[in-house]
Amino acid sequence: DAKTTQPPSMDCAEGRAANLPCNHSTISGNEYVYWYRQIHSQGPQYIIHGLKNNETNEMASLIITEDRKSSTLILPHATLRDTAVYYCIVRGNYGGSQGNLIFGKGTKLSVKP
Amino acid sequence: DAGVIQSPRHEVTEMGQEVTLRCKPISGHNSLFWYRQTMMRGLELLIYFNNNVPIDDSGMPEDRFSAKMPNASFSTLKIQPSEPRDSAVYFCASSLAGQATEAFFGQGTRLTVV
């Protein structure tokens, strides 16, 4: 089972920041938080990941709380092309498996003009 | 690199037939994942290989499903015999081994079993 909880859907106005929350209250110390998105009928696309510190790349920013029990993905200026399902994933080292990627239901983000 | 390449993109087959889905991972990647996606069940991990060895196949639904990775550049997912409930989009993904690496997904194979 997925180890994360996300709201099923969110709306965002075009040009505004989209803030997508994720709860992962049972995260272990060596587990990373990953974000992927899936635009309709395409394969999932990697966005960003982090362990403890906040991270930023050309696509988004990831804010992880100090206790690491939750995080927020921020799309600073959402466009219509950012409409997708966003998945928050906790990824660890399960024995010798070196990290399965288990997807939950995600958040369907709708960016509106 | 062309990314993860899956074939075919679409497959329609009759119930009871054997179906083989193919995946070519990104060169140099040593982890490979097979997923199945349906509206009802979402994106499910079927099996995960590391250095061509199956590490976790707990998601394989039943004995009708089998996956192989004969070398680092090729993997197959076979369904024999196929059933209508196997209709789904099947994704392959690859990454470098380790927990702090991103996985790249192919475009998927849409399987329809009639």
pLDDT tens for each residue of B96-108: 876 667 889 999 9
Structure tokens at A75: 């799309």
Buried b (16+ CB within 10 A) or exposed e, B29-45: bbbbbbbbbeeeebbeb
Q: Whole-angstrom Cα distance, residue B84 to residue B61?
A: 14
Structure tokens at B25: 């991972």
Find chain A residues with C-beta within 8 A of B55's C-beta.
96-98
Find chain B residues with C-beta within 8 A of A91's C-beta.
99
The dihedral of CA A78, A80, A82, A86: what is its sign? positive
- What is the distance in angstroms between the CA of the first residue and the CA of the last residue of chain A? 35
Neighbours of B15 (CB within 10 A): 12
Identify which of A32, A46, A96 has the shortest CB distance to residue B99. Answer: A32
Contact B91 A44 (CB under 8 A): yes
Which stretch of A12-21, A29-38, A94-103 has the lowest confidence by average pLDDT?
A94-103
Neighbours of A80 (CB within 10 A): 10
A47-A35-B42 Cα angle (round to 5): 115
Closest by Cα among B32, B29, B30, B10 to B21: B10
Find chain B residues with C-beta within 8 A of A49's C-beta.
100, 102
Write the pLDDT tens digit of every residue in A3-21.
899 999 999 999 999 999 9
Contact B50 A97 (CB under 8 A): yes
Q: Residue count of chain B, please give it.
A: 114
Nearest-neighbour CA in chain B from A28: distance (Å) = 13
A15-44 average pLDDT score: 93
Q: With bands split at pLDDT 50, 70 and 90, how would you rate the model's confidence at B1?
A: low
Structure tokens at A87: 């998945």
A82 near B CB under 8 A: no
Find chain B residues with C-beta within 8 A of A34's C-beta.
102
Strands (E), chain B: 5-7, 10-13, 19-24, 31-38, 42-50, 53-56, 65-71, 74-79, 88-95, 104-105, 109-113
